């Protein structure tokens, strides 16, 4: 369960940092402006970068073989893992990150979202082997739900934090973590083992 726990902690760490950042902006606007200018001119100690190998497929209404399905799942999950590791680099060094680093974090989130969309289009718009249909959907929902937590926090969570509405935060978490939780992770890992699909996604 360690990999899933990391995702949850990373998601809510970013949420809380952004909520605190917004609070600081409202209370200390002039000081924050000075800090941003200083950060923008600082030399970054964060080594995060945008990785290559985004999952992409132009196929539509085609029959996908099992070998291609295995390769597609591996590429989708491996890229997601690389994206998350790069995001982790910035999150763990967030206080020392420059404005450029934070822009990179947003780009990483966007790349992850593209990866999710491309994979979902691939499994939805083609004929894939029957025994891959439900597991592929579960994999997509698991990965994309974690991604949604990161990409939607600004409107749905930060706003809730500012308004002091714990109910809204709970509802948001329940929506996404019903698809991304320890039980779903076990199902995915069992499927990957059965199909002998080697991915770095659940690596430490």
The reported pLDDT for the residue numbered 138 is 95
The reported pLDDT for the residue numbered 100 is 86
Residue of higher predicted confidence among 88 and 73 = 73
- pLDDT at residue 17 greater than cutoff 90: no
The tokens of 126 are what? 């083609």
The reported pLDDT for the residue numbered 59 is 95
Read off the pLDDT of residues 92-135 as tens digits, 9 standing for 90 and up: 776 677 888 888 888 888 899 999 999 999 999 999 999 999 99
The reported pLDDT for the residue numbered 30 is 47
**Three-state SS across the chain?**
CHHHHHHHHHHHHHHHHHHHHHHHHHHCHHHHHHHHHHHHHCCCCCCCCCCCCCCCCCCCCCECCHHHHHHHHHHHHHHHHHHHHHHHHHHHCHHHCCHHHHHHHHHHHHHHHHHHHHHHHHHHCCECCHHHHHHHHHHHHHHHHHHHHHHCHHHHHHHHHHHCCHHHHHHHHHHHHCCCCHHHHHHHHHHHHHCCCCCCCCCC
The reported pLDDT for the residue numbered 157 is 52
Confidence of residue 6 (pLDDT cuts 50, 70, 90): low
Q: Where are the domains of the chain?
A: 1-12+78-204
Least confident of 124-133, 145-154, 159-168: 159-168
């Amino acid at each position: 369960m360690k990999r899933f726990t990391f995702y949850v902690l990373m998601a809510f760490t970013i949420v809380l940092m952004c909520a605190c950042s917004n609070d600081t902006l409202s209370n200390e606007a002039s000081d924050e402006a000075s800090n941003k200018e200083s950060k923008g001119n600082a030399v970054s100690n964060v080594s995060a970068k945008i990785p290559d190998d985004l999952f992409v497929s132009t196929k539509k209404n085609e029959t996908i073989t099992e070998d291609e399905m295995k390769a597609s799942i591996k590429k989708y999950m491996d890229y997601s893992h690389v994206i998350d590791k790069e995001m982790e680099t910035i999150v763990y060094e967030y206080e020392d990150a420059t404005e450029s680093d934070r822009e990179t974090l947003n780009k990483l989130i966007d790349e992850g979202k593209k990866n999710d969309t491309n994979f979902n289009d691939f499994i939805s718009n083609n004929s894939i082997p029957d025994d891959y249909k439900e597991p592929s959907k579960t994999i997509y929902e698991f990965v994309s739900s974690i991604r949604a937590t990161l990409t939607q926090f600004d409107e749905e969570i930060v706003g809730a934090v500012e308004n002091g509405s714990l109910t809204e935060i709970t509802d948001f978490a329940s929506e996404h973590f019903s698809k991304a939780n320890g039980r779903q992770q076990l199902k995915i890992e069992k499927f990957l083992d059965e199909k002998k699909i080697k991915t770095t996604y659940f690596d430490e």
